[in-house]
């Protein structure tokens, strides 16, 4: 019995090692390929720095928008059962599965001058195509599902009894949310924000349709690869990997801390 169990364990262990190797080896090769001088030269390049900052700024902006507008919807989905709820949840998940160039084309179709909404934006002096506002719009679109789903799960983990006790003591619904529910769900909100930010930083396909310029880091990476090849694109890739790795390390620390305290 122990021998069979041991064989079963090592079979699964071998499978896990293969998966880790499949992920790590290509990334490791890319990380060690650029020289220190190339890495330093790349990070001193003003165009690269500008694209990195634009990626971080627009991703954080998308995460903030997701926090402001996604939190109420996440709470509603966590606390309410209503007709069409599964349809709403499916719509929220759509940006995950839709090919991202399609996302960019869909956004352009509604913000273009041929659409009434696009005409309203034009009259207000708001430009979407080829602007940071357009990039933020795209990144919010692709990042929202990650924020809403994470925060919804966080709200579902909070017992409704705590809210009922607060309401029975005379607190309003808004007071209960901000004094009881919000503090208990703040870790889920932080995790959701990090997930949204990380997803937004990695977006490429939808952004190139809506705003090739100004260039965010993934677009800059693509442009350098097309123009100069691997030598000048690999260092940008490494810096992007380091940024994403940092975000996910923070995410894991937050999640671990949450699990320990729970």
> Quick one: DSSP state of residue 131?
S
Show the domains of the chain with their CATH numbers. 43-261 (1.10.3720.10)
Left if phi > 0, otherwise alpha if psi is -120 to 50, otherwise beta: which for 165?
alpha
- E strands within the chain? none
Interval 183-209 mean pLDDT:
91
Local confidence band at 31 (pLDDT 50, 70, 90 cut-offs): confident
Separation between Cα atoms, residue 188 and residue 181, nearest integer Å: 11
More confident residue, 170 or 67: 67
pLDDT given at position 4: 56
Burial of 59 (0-12, 13-18, 19+ CB in 10 A): buried
Whether 68 shows a pLDDT value over 90: the answer reads yes
Exposure on the CB side of residue 134, measured as CA atoms within 13 A? 30
The packing angle between helices 132-156 and 85-97, to 10°, is 130
pLDDT given at position 50: 92
pLDDT given at position 260: 43
pLDDT given at position 5: 60
Separation between Cα atoms, residue 81 and residue 223, nearest integer Å: 47
- Neighbouring residues of 136: CB distance < 8 A, sequence distance ≥ 6: 58, 61, 62, 65
Query: What is this structure's pTM?
Result: 0.85
Interval 26-39 mean pLDDT:
84
């Amino acid at each position: 019995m122990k021998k069979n169990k041991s064989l079963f364990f090592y079979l699964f262990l071998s499978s896990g090692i293969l998966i880790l190797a499949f992920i790590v080896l290509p990334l490791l090769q890319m990380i060690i390929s650029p020289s220190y001088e190339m890495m330093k030269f790349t990070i001193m390049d003003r165009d690269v720095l500008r694209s990195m900052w634009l990626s971080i700024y627009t991703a954080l902006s998308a995460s903030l928008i997701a926090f402001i507008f996604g939190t109420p919807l996440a709470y509603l989905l966590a606390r309410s059962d209503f007709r069409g709820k599964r349809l709403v949840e499916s719509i929220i998940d759509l940006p995950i599965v839709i090919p991202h160039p399609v996302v960019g084309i869909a956004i352009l179709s509604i913000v273009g001058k041929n659409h009434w909404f696009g005409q309203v934006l034009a009259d207000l002096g708001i430009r979407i195509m080829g602007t940071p506002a357009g990039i933020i719009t795209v990144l919010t679109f692709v990042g929202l599902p990650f924020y809403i789903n994470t925060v919804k799960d966080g709200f579902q983990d909070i017992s409704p009894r705590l809210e009922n006790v607060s309401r029975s003591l005379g607190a309003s619904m808004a007071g209960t949310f901000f004094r009881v529910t919000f503090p208990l769900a703040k870790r889920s909100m932080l995790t959701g924000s990090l997930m949204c930010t990380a997803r937004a930083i990695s977006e490429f396909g939808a952004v190139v349709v809506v705003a090739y310029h100004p260039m965010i880091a993934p677009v800059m990476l693509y442009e350098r690869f097309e123009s100069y090849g691997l030598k000048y694109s690999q260092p940008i890739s490494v810096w992007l990997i380091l940024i994403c790795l940092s975000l996910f390390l923070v995410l894991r620390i937050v999640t671990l801390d949450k699990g320990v305290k729970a």
